[in-house]
Structures are given as C-alpha cells and as structure tokens.
Amino acid sequence: MTVTVENPSRTRGTDEVLGVEGLVQHFVSRRSWADRLTRTPQHVVKAVDGVDLTLSTGETLGLVGESGCGKSTLSRCIMGLYRPSAGEIRYAGEAVRGLPSRAQRRTVQMVFQDPYSSLNPRMTVGQTLGELLRYHQIVPRDQVAARSRELMDLVGLPHDALRRTPRQFSGGQRQRIGIARALALQPRVLIADEPVSALDVSVQATIINLLTDLREELGLSMVFVSHNIAVVRQVSDRIAVMYRGRIVETGLTEQIFNDPRHPYTQLLLESVPRMLSGAETHPIGAADSLGTADQLAVVDGEPDADESPYSAHAIEGEHGCRYRPRCPVAMPVCADEPGLLPIAGNPSRAAACWHVDDDRKDKPR
C-alpha cells in the first residue's frame, strides 16, 4: 500500500458514475390541530434546495460547508436513505426510482462519522461482514470467511479482528471496520461523511492515508464530506462548497484554494486556523485589525437560532441570494438569486455569485 503522491492515475475519467440533478430535500414540520386552527403556517426546512452534481470514475469530490448547510442530508439522499422531494439521482447512468434497489445499493456505499454508533455492538466484525456478503451474494457462501479476511487485509487490521466486537477496538480501528464494511459490497462510489472528524489527529492521518491508498488501489470514486478544509484539500480532486442547501461554488481543488470566487468560499478559506510562529500571530479570519469585541460582532453573520430554527438552512419565504445577509459585497442585484454561473475561461468552474468575474483586490492570503 505504498503509493506515491504524484500518481498519474489521479487524472479523472470522463464517464459519470454518479449523477445528481436538481435534487431537493425538504423537511416539513408536522402541524398540530392547534396550528391548523390558528392557521400557523407550516414550517418547511429546505435542507437541500436544488443541487446538481456529477462524479466521474476515480474522482474524489470534496463537499465542504458549515454545519447545517445540508452536506449530510445531501449525502444521505445520494445513499438512498431519504426519498428526495424532487430531482433525480443516477447511479452509473441508471436513474434511481424512489429508493434504490438491492442491486443499486451495491454501487454506492457510505462511511459514517461515528464508527461506533454505525456498527452493531452485539455482532462481531466477522458477523457484520458475513451478513452483508451473504445478503448481497457478493461471493459464494463457502468463500465468505476468506473474503472477510481479505477485507481485513485491505484496511490493515489483523485477521483475529473478525472474532471481536466493535467495543474492543479503538476509534481509528473502528473507522477501519466501517471502511471494510462499506468496501464489502465492492461499491464504485464511496460516500465518506466526516470520516475523520471524531478521531484524534494522529489517527486522522492514518485514515486519510488509508482512504487515499484504497482509492488508488480499487479505482473508487468518492464523495468526501467534511467541514475540515485542510483534510478536504488532501483528498479531493474537485471541491463543491455548500451554503444553506445549495452548491455555491465548484471547481478543481487547486483552483478553489488559489482563487476562491464566492465570498463565502473566501471567508471559509480565510477562517481556517493555520500554524503560525508566535511573532506572526495575527487575528484570525475576517476580524483582521478589529480589536474590540463589539466591532467583531459586525462581521458575525451567524443568524440567531430563534430567527430560524435551523440556523443555516434555507427558510421559506426568503428571496435573493442566500448569502446576502452575511455578504460583505452585497449589492442591489443580489435580490435575485444567481444560479451557478460559469467562470470565464475556466470550464470546470462555477460560482453562484454575481461578482464571479470581478477582479478582486482583496485576495485572501
């Protein structure tokens, strides 16, 4: 499993392995009789509000955004854990109607954030893997044990791990089991929802390296969901930035990092804490040179929970660009919400901002 970093196989294939078109996932609150009598309007949370995505074979897409922006809902929709309100999901070119069929479920598999709560605590690792291999008829019954051992080798665990239960493993090892469980079905797409957020930094690195190696080895495509931008940069070929249920910017990883166009992407990249030596220490994020706390409040764009019960979600009855209330460069035209606008001279990039092609003087860093 020694793969050098500059592997030419990172170049992307062109065939679509996963497609999402106009995906909408709204959650509607239940109305009580009292609500109906008082004509309280129904509350709709637009967790995912019109998302288009394509993933090619062998490509890794990083999905970033703040908590509540819909990253996890989107990945769960793609997995077929929710029935989407509208839009289409395609696995390897084949549309998923309603929830995916058993055969379709093999194509896309998920690695969850918390490896402990996503494994059955009363089953040994061998039982968990064996059940999957038999149910989906991945290998003939007499080869289930052999295949399970192969999976352990793949994720770097000893064979006797198969006889143990999840609680006997450390966090990093459990995440390896979670990865083995996802890989058991030989999926073409792996959806990793914050796979390293619950782990310590030293362990985090081993899981990131493992995912990188597996991707090369098995030719997997991956959707890597994380709020940790440095981690996303490590693993992704392409990045999609989500804000309040929509993708606001997409492009190749290096392009996004070197030249972020959407004001939200810019804020996100500037806010990432960086290792600095003591003398160079300066206030982080947008708060540059603003010393006092009450000045800081001005740049605070986080809406109150009481103003919107799901602070970062899109709320019903809102118009205009969804970033406008926090945006430092909002202008009258922002009352109309832009779709993803192409960036001139760069076919792989788009940003949902009217300022897309402006020359920016205040480039971050």
Partner 1 sequence: MSPLLEVHDLHVEIPLPHAHLYAVRGVSLTVDAGESIGVVGESGSGKSITLRALLGLLPRPAQVTKGSIILDGVDVTGLPERRRTKMLTDAMSMVFQDSLTALNPVMRVGDQIAEVPRRRLGMSKRAAHARAVELMDQVGIPEPERRFRAYPHQLSGGMRQRVCIAIALSAEPRLILADEPTTALDVTIQAQVLEVIDGLRRDHQLGVVLVSHDLAVISQTCSRIYVMYAGRVIESGSIRQLLSLARHPYTFALLRAVPDPDLPVHRLLTIPGQPPDLTAVPAGCSFAPRCALTEPACREVDPPLTAVPKEPDHASACIRLETASQWLDWAPVGVPDLVKKT
The contact set with partner 1 (CB under 8 A) reads: 4-5, 66-67, 170, 172, 200-202, 204-206, 208-209, 227, 229-231, 233-234, 253-254, 257, 267-279, 281, 283-287, 290-294, 296-297, 299-306, 311, 365
In the bound complex, what is the minimum distance in angstroms from residue 322's beta carbon to partner 1? Answer: 15
Identify the burial level of 196 via C-beta atoms within 10 angstroms of its C-beta, where 0-12 means exposed, 13-18 middle and 19 or more buried: buried
Q: Which is nearer to partner 1, 304 or 359 (CB)?
A: 304
Select 86 or 272, whichever has its Cβ closest to partner 1.
Answer: 272
Q: Minimum Å distance from CB 8 to partner 1?
A: 13
Specify the residue, 4 or 38, whose C-beta has the smaller distance to partner 1: 4
- 10 Å CB burial of residue 362 (0-12, 13-18, 19+) is exposed
Closest distance to partner 1 from the beta carbon of 297 (Å): 4
Cα–Cα distance, 285 to 79 (Å, whole number): 35
The one-character DSSP state at 199 is S
Minimum distance, C-beta of residue 277 to partner 1, in the bound complex (Å):
4
Taking the complex as a whole, how short is the minimal distance between the CB of residue 298 and partner 1, in angstroms?
8
In whole angstroms, how close is the CB of 294 to partner 1 at the nearest point?
6
C-alpha 332/C-alpha 289 separation (Å) is 28
Cβ(338)–Cβ(321) under 8 Å? yes
Please answer whether residues 268 and 327 qualify as being in contact, where contact means their C-beta atoms are separated by less than 8 angstroms. Answer: no
Give the Cα separation of 61 and 249 in Å (integer).
13
- CB burial class (10 A; 0-12, 13-18, 19+) of residue 26? middle
Which is nearer to partner 1, 91 or 169 (by Cβ)?
169
For partner 1, the closer of residues 147 and 227 by Cβ is: 227
Give backbone dihedrals phi and psi of 278, rounded to 5 degrees, phi first: -45, -45
Nearer to partner 1 (CB atom), residue 212 or residue 221: 212
Q: Which is nearer to partner 1, 151 or 231 (CB)?
A: 231
CB of 144 to partner 1, least distance (A): 30
Beta strands in the chain (DSSP E): 16-28, 44-56, 60-64, 86-91, 94-95, 108-111, 189-193, 221-225, 238-243, 246-252, 314-315, 341-343, 346-351
